[in-house]
Amino acid sequence: MIKKQLLCCSAVLLLVLLSKLYSYNVAASTDAPDALLHDSLSQGEWLLEDISNIRNTPYFTSLNFADETLPLGDKRIEKKMLKHLKEYSFAKRRSHLLHHKALKTLPRVAAILRQHGIPEDFKYIPLVESGFTSGTTSHRGASGYWQFMPNTAKAFGLRVDSLVDERQNVEKSTVAAAKYIKALYREFNSWTLVAAAFNVGEGNLLRAISRQNEDNYFRLKLNQETGNYVYKLISVKEIIEHPHRHGYRTNTLLADATDDNSPDSRKL
């Protein structure tokens, strides 16, 4: 009798375990596509050929810069966007210091941009241009948080001379940037084109638009840096606003937030 009872109990326990295992597998297989995408992005498992599986997910279709979305349906554009999202994932970049700088400085930059009617997404330009590091100067002479050329900086109210360089001041250079961005928008009437013009110069961009008879940033053929520029801004926006989607963990962010040797302290 005891053996029979033990056999019955074992059979019931086995059935319960099998039921739990089945429920777990069903739940895992029915997770939202977004969750699968986020995990895959952070682990680098999505190949470019897999774009057809994610192009219609809410996450991918929501990607935008200043509310201007990608023209989805163009495989070249979609693959390029996915490539940059992977490039900025935790598996590729250890950007703890970048998050630390963003937490400290972005609110001040965003407040100034709002006062001038500029979309807040432009606050990510200093992260891409200088990594929010003052004193950086390119070989062409661009310097400061927004990497202003001297003449452009002066044209929009900054003092740049042998004694003072206001390009290194976050607040003053952001006010100048807001004025410049507003002027560019009057010229191009598109925020993505404004971002491109900020990078390459309005004259160069106007010539490219005229030559190609195309005024959609994502479809323009531009130099490599400018052609990647808005994709970088969108990717940086994503890793700052939704770090967990790209493999970041709060504990590692806090542990390494003040690591000055982190590679993300450089220009992105």
- The residues carrying an active-site annotation are 129
Q: Please count the residues of the chain.
A: 268
Q: Exposure of 260 by Cβ count < 10 A (0-12 exposed, 13-18 middle, 19+ buried)? A: exposed
| Residue from 174, 198, 168, 181 nearest 108 by CA | 174
Distance of alpha carbon 129 from alpha carbon 151, whole angstroms: 18
Radius of gyration over every alpha carbon of the chain, rounded to an integer in angstroms:
24
Residues 6+ positions from 5 with CB-CB distance below 8 Å = none
Tokens of 120: 């807040």
Distance of alpha carbon 145 from alpha carbon 188, whole angstroms: 24
| Residue from 109, 117, 51 nearest 78 by CA | 51
| Residue from 258, 268, 215 nearest 68 by CA | 215
